[in-house]
A and B are shown apart, each in its own frame.
Chain A
Amino acid sequence: MRLDWELARRGYRRYAAYPGATAAGLFTNVFFGLLIAYILLAVYDQRTDVGGYDVGDALAYVWLAQGLLAVVASYGPSWSELALRVRTGDVATDLYRPVDLQRALFAQDVGRAGYQALWRAAPQFLLGAALFDITVPTDVLRWLAFGVSVCIAIAVSFAIRFLVNLTAFWLLDYRGPMMLALTVTHLFSGLIVPLAFFPEPFGDLLRALPFAAMLQTPIDIWVGEPLGGSTAGALVLQAAWALALVLAGRLALAAGTRKLVVQGG
């Protein structure tokens, strides 16, 4: 536990070392947030409700999604860092350390997510809330459920990135799979457009997939539109995905390690 805490702190500090990059990233997210907000407002010129989202919900989506994208690392080096170490063979030294690789990386990723939540998501969201009339839950339980859901989303996001990185054990090129994974996660996590905007039954199907658990699920909970109408149900599904993906990561790492040992890297 002590080690996890230290690793998380290191993950936090690694990003805290570049306040200029944080400010610039925040600026970019705010700019995109404004653009998407105006675009969605043009949609709501003609509609009052899209897939259960009213205009306040849609605007809340914009500022939550733009804020959370840094927290769940929709972009960034963590999509290929480990893959690069696999490529170069440096991963062998990671595997010889007396700590579990997946757990150590997760601890660091939690630190990273904490930094982004504090310095990217929070200011971003406050600014959006100040500029636009967005939905804010008044119910304490819903706030709580949202918080829990964001934590699970970080775990799901980590588990997916971990799996994508591990493809480097088997595939020669790590950039191709990474781009493919980015495409799929961006579209299906609800980063591009709320999944509720997709035509039925597509929308509901996408909301049940693990990608939605990265981003869309916490936002659905915030605006009071959880999948199937049950917040508890949405959280259970999200947690199940987290568990399954983490386990899949462990299996993949074990298989990759075996391959490394057999072929000597």
Chain B
Amino acid sequence: MAEPVIQVEGVEKRFVVRVKRGLLRRERREVAAVDGIGFEIERGTIVGYLGPNGAGKSTTVKMLTGILVPSGGRIRVAGLDPSRRRVELARRIGVVFGQRSQLWWDLPLRDSFDLLRHIYRVPAARHRENLDRFTDVLALAPFLDTPVRQLSLGQRMRGELTAALLHDPEIVFLDEPTIGLDVVAKAAVRDFLGEVNRERGVTVLLTTHDLADIERLCSRLLIIDHGHLIWDGGLDELRRQHGPERTLVVDLEEAAPPLELPGARVVKVEGPRQWLAFRRDETSAAELIAAVAAQARLLDVAIEETEIEEIVRRIYAAGVAPRAT
């Protein structure tokens, strides 16, 4: 087994909030944003970190990067205690907060990279080598000399990723790196991350709302809710445990009322197209298709696995999911 590069043991973060009670009375209450979580991440893996808003995702990432001091527990990132040795750690990690920029608003992208080179003390030759490589892979060349404020969101995100990786970090933390991007830009970002991980062995912790990011990139998934880790395991296991339902999409010759079939139920009707949910342990797709064909004239069929999004929605709704082993 490879060495763990991130170790988290019983970590907590409590905030004191003041709650209004009546006109003047205010009550101090402690809220646990992160309530005793633990996991290890091996070097060179890409792990997806998921959770609804306010679940404790950002708080965890902020503790891992040394921004916040944990209220309890133990964290080691690249062998360092992040909050105590923040500056030292900063040299070895890269961070992208999707909704904020680490680039200089008024300066051309190239100048931002140059300032970062000095901040991270990267040797000039290594900097050039990395920048050439990233310029190539991310197609930065057309806008390297454009001030950041004039870049499109997709261009800026490519700049942000480059900025986070120019100093050869061992680990990168990405918070919503594809938020607001169009399909093409999203694909470019994902391809790039996959490549960086394969080529350089960079460990990636990816926080996202976009489950397609996770399907494309992550072998392992952590799900946090209400400050507790409620899932730690692979994507396939998650699907097996929580997504036994599949969907058969049938295109009929003409619009019809929802079909009535044993072992399946219609979840959606759109003109002549109907979506039928069924459990794989109750009926097979072949049986179902035959049953549909017996009732109506069938033009086309397709089978959809349960969307990972649907699974995650269900897990959030249920609160706690059984932990994979």
Direct contact of A and B (CB under 8 A): no
**Chain B residues in contact with chain A, CB under 8 A?**
none
